[in-house]
């Protein structure tokens, strides 16, 4: 089977990369806040909430793929598509309980699971090949941001 090298549409690439700015902006703001002796609590909350919003958005992509590719989407596919929203809500509660690193770890795992699901959908041809490549790039940036804010919190903010 020949490899598909369809380019990622410019709009999707630009908007996707722009979506990384709030993740990395929060990491940078955490570093700046702690270097100035201020609490990074706001930056940490912004990160958790934005991460949850993006996970929820990706769940919506899964919902859309399910209804677009099936005349009658099943409970499993639709039910799984709302899982990222529930994970995001759980992460907010975990962060609120004083465990932001656990919340960020949970969200990073959620993004990894969504990447695997999307890549499998690309292999089944339910999603375009370019989308799988875009998701790999963006998920790498997102997961690295989760690692960076976790390390920043553990090293600088405690």
Closest C-alpha to 132, from 22, 2, 6: 6
Q: Which two structure tokens, joined as six digits, stand for 76? A: 């499993």
Residues 73/125, Cβ–Cβ less than 8 Å: no
DSSP 46-59: HHHHHHHHHHHHHH
- Maximum Cα–Cα distance across the chain: 57
Residues 62/117, Cβ–Cβ less than 8 Å: yes
Closest C-alpha to 153, from 72, 48, 16, 83: 48
Sign of CA dihedral 106, 108, 114, 116: negative
Task: Give pTM, 2 decimals.
Answer: 0.93
Residues 135/119, Cβ–Cβ less than 8 Å: yes
pLDDT tens string for the chain (158 positions)? 446 788 999 999 999 999 999 999 999 999 999 999 999 999 999 999 999 999 999 999 999 988 887 778 889 889 999 999 999 999 999 999 999 999 999 999 999 999 999 999 999 998 999 999 999 999 999 999 999 999 999 999 77
In tens, the pLDDT along 89-105 reads: 999 999 999 999 999 99
Query: How many helices (DSSP H) and strands (DSSP E) are in the chain?
Result: 7, 0
């Amino acid at each position: 089977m020949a490899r598909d090298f369809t380019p990622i549409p410019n709009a999707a690439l630009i908007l996707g990369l722009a979506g990384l700015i709030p993740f990395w902006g929060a990491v940078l703001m955490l570093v700046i806040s702690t270097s100035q002796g201020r609490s990074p609590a706001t930056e940490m909350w912004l990160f958790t909430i934005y991460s949850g919003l993006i996970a929820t958005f990706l769940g919506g992509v899964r919902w859309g793929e399910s209804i677009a590719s099936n005349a009658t989407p099943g409970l499993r596919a639709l039910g799984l598509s709302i899982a990222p929203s529930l994970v995001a809500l759980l992460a907010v509660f975990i962060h609120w309980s004083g465990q932001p690193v656990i919340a960020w770890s949970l969200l990073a795992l959620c993004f990894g699971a969504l990447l695997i699901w999307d890549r499998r959908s690309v292999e089944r041809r339910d999603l375009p090949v370019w989308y799988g490549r875009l998701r790999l790039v963006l998920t790498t940036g997102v997961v690295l941001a989760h690692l960076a804010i976790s390390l920043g919190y553990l090293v600088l903010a405690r």
